[in-house]
Amino acid sequence: MRGSGAGSPTSRRSEVALLRHVILDTSAFIQGYNLSTDEEYYTVPEVLDEIREDLGRMRYEGARASGRLREVSPEKKWTDELEAKSRSAGEAHKLSLTDRQLLSLGLLLKSEGKEPTIVSDDYSVQNMAVRLGFNFVSQATKGITKVINWGIYCPGCRRKFDAPQEDNVCPICGTELKRKPRRG
């Protein structure tokens, strides 16, 4: 949870040294996220496509029109890097296109020397955010407190795997693999 920031728009340009770079996902617009003057906001265009609620769309479009919300589509360089890192973390198949774009945007911001904070209620996004060295803020849930290491197993033949498999399918029997948090 964040404190209540000044929600009203301001004409004063804020050049605060400790500006937080906040990436907003779909839930931030649906639930409402108070824009604060000491934060800079980013999102990806795919988020707007996901917002069905009028109020959520108004929040998005209002923030964009005020110039406070920057819509950025990360280049392939960043989506490729995210793809590789989410695969090795076993999260690749859990992330939607929007999730991947948001996390790729975080990689882009980090490359510019910024410390991205992702506002997301999605556990896989939060887990990847921690792995990539981003901060995250959860609005509806408490959020994860540590990085989850997923154990991958086959519900068909009961084999266990240390690493994600091609197409998330058991190479022995072809069953779709499942995963559970590994202990410790």
Chain residues that interact with Zn ion, rule: CB under 5 A: 154, 156-157, 170, 172-173, 175
DSSP state of 63: H
Q: Which is nearer to Zn ion, 16 or 172 (CB)?
A: 172
As measured in angstroms, the least distance from the Cβ of 171 to Zn ion is 8
Based on CB atoms, which residue is closest to Zn ion, 96 or 168?
A: 168
Backbone angles phi and psi of 180, in degrees to 5: -145, 155
- Closest approach, Cβ 175 to Zn ion, in A, equals 5
> Which is closer to Zn ion, CB of 72 or CB of 169?
169
Closest CB 180 distance from Zn ion, rounded Å: 15
In angstroms, give the least distance from the CB of 179 to Zn ion: 14
> What type of residue is 85?
K
Nearer to Zn ion, 57 or 178 (CB): 178
List all residues 6 or more positions away from 44 whose beta carbon is below 8 Å from its beta carbon: 71, 72, 73, 74, 98, 101, 102, 105
DSSP assignment of 78-102? HHHHHHHHHHHTT-GGG--HHHHHH
137 φ, ψ to 5°? -125, 130
